[in-house]
Structure 1
């Protein structure tokens, strides 16, 4: 089975779990929303590419944005539309492969969220093709939000869920990838791509983008997130306030499960 079919099948079969993921991992969701809120205003046009079951699409639609949710999984899109109808919100829908967006008009979006495709595109060529497609859809001066899974995510997941996995030869081989400091592709929750934090900015050097932010989407909170989320709201928010202030520090990137690049498309002169 081709990789894109594996990924499509995975998301078609795990819609409910994907919807709940950002409830279980609220730090990522809340910090990302804070960065969206720095830029996106009511009335802005947003393409949520690879937006899954629509957590961010629905959030932005509720803010009054003109949102198009585009995803590889038809089941994800159907779920998002059902949620939108339940909440009295309007979102547009498209089933697409992020590498080929010819069905979407160019230069029409103020913002493009690409917070899913990079988790699965295992070749550099496909990742670059997707960024170029996103750039085509952005207006001049438009802003792109691109998320990656860090190569360190294996480390944190194994430490949290089952530290003894390091004794398994196959799992230890995966963990040793961080020793080399290289990107790698392999079997994670689906067919996945993992990027070394130090390689994110070099990847974007090939594109005509002005870097605005590079951040650890969990800041320093990921390893203690379950304990944090049991606290009262004012405690959670105070920790999020502190986490937001330091999440762009380079020395925290290796603590990330997810890394976010935010860049602006320049106005051509």
Structure 2
């Protein structure tokens, strides 16, 4: 955890990442709009980085609590929300594996970051179970994963020199990324694995989507289009994101489920 926290505190600008990856940001927001219904909902954004999605939801009138492992991300969230005249309910420097102090049940919980970095299945389970404890019956859980195909897709997108073909292919068998390989310690999940993992927690699946799908390898070119053309491609991406034949073309996977009544 210290190494991951240090990565976001000193080596990485998470706020700017979603400036570069507009497709990921815009498609994810579209799904938030599709599934987060109601007004003034209590929302817990666990591992929400500098609060991009938290602020988007707060602008819609929801009561959003942000928690992140990185103290830098929390400070950025405070500064950016002040600049945008947006108020979050709370800004918490904390760990997705240590949620015992929280008791208030939430209508919606976002877990769109912690599962990227938990290389042990037991820790991934602990994070989901801890979040589910805080979710109201019939509440919505939104979780995201980095796909095990992401290193291949990223290399293709930028045409980086390939140091090792086998090294890229190994992510499909063992999704662990070690610190120093272009990113901090991370876990990249196969689409079927991510889906079955979330469903194993008793959630009713509402959506499983591959966010970037065929647009990922043309991201730079699509970002440079005028807004009208960009939105046309975004519509195509949105409609293809649920196509199971294309899940492996995405770098990010999105799961939305409902907590069933007991």
Question: Normalising by the residue count of structure 2, what TM-score does the alignment of the two structures yield?
Answer: 0.94
> Structure 1: 5+ residue runs without aligned partners?
none
| Cα offset, 1:25, TM superposition | 0.4
Aligned to 1:89: 86
Aligned to 2:155: 158
Aligned to 2:258: 264
Other structure's SS at 1:221 match: helix
Measure the CA separation in 2 of the matches of 1:33 and 1:223: 20
| Cα offset, 1:220, TM superposition | 1.8
| Cα offset, 1:105, TM superposition | 1.3
- 1:5 equivalent to 2:2? Answer yes
The RMSD of aligned alpha carbons is: 1.4
Measure the CA separation in 1 of the matches of 2:112 and 2:259: 17
Out of 189, 193, 196, the position equivalent to 1:195 is: 189
Deviations 1:197-241 (A, max 9, x none): 221222124211000110011132111111111111111111111
- 1:103 equivalent to 2:101? Answer yes
Measure the CA separation in 1 of the matches of 2:141 and 2:11: 27
Question: Normalising by the residue count of structure 1, what TM-score does the alignment of the two structures yield?
Answer: 0.91
Please say if residues 212 and 251 of structure 2, whose CA atoms lie closer than 8 Å, have aligned partners that are also in contact.
yes
> Structure 2: 5+ residue runs without aligned partners?
none
Matches within 5 A, 1:5-84: 5-14=2-11, 17-40=13-36, 41-84=38-81
Measure the CA separation in 2 of the matches of 1:253 and 1:183: 18
- 1:177 equivalent to 2:170? Answer yes
Distance 1:159 1:37, change over 3 A: same
Please say if residues 157 and 216 of structure 2, whose CA atoms lie closer than 8 Å, have aligned partners that are also in contact.
no
Deviations 1:115-142 (A, max 9, x none): 1001100000000110001101111101
Measure the CA separation in 2 of the matches of 1:172 and 1:242: 31
Measure the CA separation in 1 of the matches of 2:202 and 2:62: 26
Matches within 5 A, 1:227-238: 227-238=221-232
Measure the CA separation in 2 of the matches of 1:39 and 1:233: 25
Please say if residues 156 and 257 of structure 1, whose CA atoms lie closer than 8 Å, have aligned partners that are also in contact.
yes
Distance 1:159 1:242, change over 3 A: closer
| Cα offset, 1:104, TM superposition | 1.4
Please say if residues 182 and 195 of structure 1, whose CA atoms lie closer than 8 Å, have aligned partners that are also in contact.
no
Please say if residues 199 and 205 of structure 2, whose CA atoms lie closer than 8 Å, have aligned partners that are also in contact.
no
Measure the CA separation in 1 of the matches of 2:223 and 2:142: 26
| Cα offset, 1:42, TM superposition | 3.4
